[in-house]
Amino acid sequence: MTRTAKERIAAALLLVMALVLLLAGGMRSYKVYDRSDGEFGLLTFTRISDSELVVDATFSGVERQGDRLYTTYDRNAPRGKRSCPT
Amino acid sequence: MLKDFSIAAHRRAVQVVSLILLHSSWGPEFKWLCNPVLSCHSCVLAWFACPVGVFIHYSGYHLFPFMALGMTLLLGVLIGRLLCGWVCPFGLLQDLLYRLPGPKVELPAWTAYIKYPVLVLLVFLLPFLLTEQTWFSFCRICPASALQVTLPNLFRTDFNGFNAAAAVKIAVLMLVLLGAVVSSRSFCKVLCPIGALLAPLNFISLWKIRVPTQNCVSCGKCETACPSRVAPSSRIARDIPPNRDLDCIVCHECQTTCPHPKPREKTVTNP
């Protein structure tokens, strides 16, 4: 097998892997809990998609505590541009 | 006139247009999409997310970054490090700074491997172990973040927000800018975690620079033109695309400076 053929096979495999990752990301969702305790101490959460979590990652919109992700802002309020957290 | 508009000029034009387009968000954003160039997504004018910042946060969340890794991998397989050479705004800044007069140095070859532990430690491992808000993440020393976010914020607040974190970022930025003046694309070569992510994909990317092997006269012009100093002639001589190198930024300078780019005409001999 020539070098070019090996390169093409590796590229095709990685291309498929990239598409699988994008597809998997498109189907995934995460529970993001509210900070405030709900009624009777019940935890309330919102389900967000992977792409929404990517956006949250750009302004530290989510924090992890223990095994849970907690929101750092009010998700019901209208969203505008976010400022830098650092 | 258009004929004289060389590929170097084309590249510079694309870099400038990219700089403007990447930082012109007036409200709408595509921050769910990672664009693998060094441009801080915390910049108010940024359209896209920075894969490094997203990886750091996902590591802190203990989650796998499906979309961010998928997009980076997709672009890396399609075009390798072409984005480093043609789109990255921090690359443009380094290219311009290197044109300043002054002493120029070649970095030792081993320094090109520093970016891999930087990627593993400051982007994945330490944020995973110490949460995404750790001081030991790449975002805390990112020169693009210092330039696009920290400095504008300091000027906006009359330096009221100046603290140790800002001082560290600005100090790193100064060192990186100084390095760019004395050594071509030094940050890309030594520290850039996005470069480290994309570098291995250069070996299999579908984008290939084609320089006809049979015409090579070993003049060495491609070696001096290469901003990454990756010795393209050694691969051209072996009929391998010159961009099959970890540190090649796919600028096409080697191809355009080649004095014999066209294949020689075959001579037909009578039997």
Report yes or no on A17 lying in a domain. Answer: yes
Q: Please report, for chain B, the start and end positions of each structural domain, with discontinuous segments joined by +.
A: 21-197, 213-257
Report yes or no on A78 lying in a domain. Answer: no
Report yes or no on A76 lying in a domain. Answer: no
What residue of A is the nearest CA neighbor of B203? A7
- Scanning B59-88 for CB atoms below 8 A from A yields 60-63, 65-71, 73-74, 76-78
Assess contact for B85 and B255: CB atoms under 8 A: no
| Contact state of B77 with A84 under an 8 Å Cβ cutoff | no
Assess contact for B4 and B30: CB atoms under 8 A: no
Assess contact for B115 and B193: CB atoms under 8 A: yes
What three-state secondary structure class fits B167? helix
pLDDT tens readout for residues B82-131: 999 999 999 999 999 999 998 999 999 999 999 999 999 999 999 999 99
Q: Which of B53, B69, B203 sits opposite A21 (nearest CB)?
A: B69
Report the predicted TM-score, pTM, of the whole model to 2 decimal places: 0.90
Q: How far apart are CA B139 and CA B132, in angstroms?
A: 10
Report yes or no on A84 lying in a domain. Answer: no
Rounded to the nearest 10 degrees, what angle do helices B89-98 and B164-182 cross at? 50
Confidence at residue A84, expressed as pLDDT on a 0 to 100 scale = 55
The residue to which tokens 């750092």 are assigned: A72
Domain that includes residue A50, residue range: 3-71
Which chain A residues touch B42 with a CB distance below 8 Å? 58-59, 82-86
Element (H, E) at A45: strand A45-49
Report yes or no on A51 lying in a domain. Answer: yes
- Residue A46 pairs with which residues in a beta bridge? A32
| Number of separate domains in chain A | 1
The answer, for A43 touching chain B at a CB cutoff of 8 Å, is no
Report yes or no on A7 lying in a domain. Answer: yes
Which chain B residues touch A69 with a CB distance below 8 Å? 61
- Residue B36 gets the label, from left (phi > 0), alpha (psi -120 to 50) or beta, of beta
The answer, for A28 touching chain B at a CB cutoff of 8 Å, is yes
Per-residue pLDDT of chain A (86 residues; tens, 9 = 90+): 788 889 999 999 999 999 999 999 999 999 999 887 666 778 889 999 999 999 998 888 899 998 899 998 888 877 666 655 54
